A and B are shown apart, each in its own frame.
Chain A
Amino acid sequence: MTLFPKALLLIAVLGLAACNNPDRYGAGGTGPNDGTGTGGSGIDTSGLGDPGDPRSIAYFNQSIGDRILFAVDQSNLSGEARGVLAGQAQWLQTNSDYAIIIEGHADEQGTREYNLALGARRASAVQDYLISQGISPSRMRTVSYGKERPIEVCSVEACYAQNRRAVTVLSIGAGV
Chain B
Amino acid sequence: MTLRTLPALLLALVVGCLAPAAMAQNGPLRIIIDEGVIEPLPFAVPNFIAENSGAEGLARDISRVIAADLAGTGLFREIGSEAFIGNVSSFDAPVAYDDWQAINAQALITGAVQVSGDRIVVKFRLYDVFSGQPLGEGLQFAGTPGSWRRMAHKVADAAYSRITGEGGYFDSRVVYVAESGPKNQRLKRLAVMDYDGANVQYLTDSSSIVLAPRFSPSGDRILFTSYASGFPRIYLMDVASLATRALDETDGTMTFAPRFSPDGNTVVFSLERGGNSDIYMLDIGSGRLTQLTNAPSIETAPSFSPDGGQIVFESDRSGTQQIYVMSAGGGEARRVSNGKGRYGTPVWSPRGDMIAFTKQNEGRFHIGVMLTNGDEERLLTASFLDEGPTWAPNGRVIMFTRESEGAGGQASLYSVDISGRNLRQIPTEGAASDPAWSPLLP
Show the binding face of A for B, using Cβ within 8 Å: 22-23, 25-29, 36-41, 75, 108-114, 116-118, 120-125, 127-128, 141-145, 148-155
Contact = CB atoms under 8 A, between A and B. Distances in A.
A153 B207 contact: no
B121 interface: no
B230 A36 contact: yes
B298 A22 contact: no
Contacts of B229: 39-40
Interface in B159-199: 181-187
Contacts, number: 133
B349 interface: no
A29 B187 contact: yes
Contacts of A123: 275
B292 to A, nearest CB: 15
B44 interface: no
12 contacts: A25-B209, A110-B344, A113-B344, A114-B316, A118-B298, A120-B272, A123-B275, A144-B232, A148-B211, A149-B184, A150-B184, A153-B184
A25 B183 CA distance: 12
B254 interface: yes
Given A113-B345, A117-B298, A155-B384, A38 B230 contact: yes
Contacts of B227: 25-26, 36
Contacts of A40: 229-230
Nearest to A163: B184
Contact of A111 (B181, B184, B270, B301): B301
B256 A113 contact: yes
A114 B407 CA distance: 22
B406 interface: yes
A124 B253 CA distance: 11
Interface in B314-370: 314, 316, 321, 344-345, 358, 360
Contacts of B403: 108
B206 A28 contact: yes
B117 interface: no
Given A26-B208, A113-B212, A121-B276, 17 more contacts: A22-B185, A25-B209, A27-B208, A29-B181, A29-B185, A29-B187, A36-B227, A111-B387, A112-B388, A113-B300, A114-B316, A116-B211, A116-B272, A120-B276, A124-B276, A149-B185, A155-B405
B230 A143 contact: yes
A141 B321 CA distance: 27
A113 B301 contact: yes
B430 interface: no
A68 to B, nearest CB: 15
Given A25-B209, A124-B275, A37 B230 contact: yes
A143 B360 CA distance: 26
Nearest to B275: A124
A122 B384 CA distance: 25
A124 to B, nearest CB: 2
B272 A111 contact: no
Contacts of A108: 385, 403, 409
CB-CB nearest 9 A-B residue pairs = A124-B275, A39-B230, A117-B277, A27-B207, A117-B298, A111-B344, A153-B407, A153-B183, A37-B230
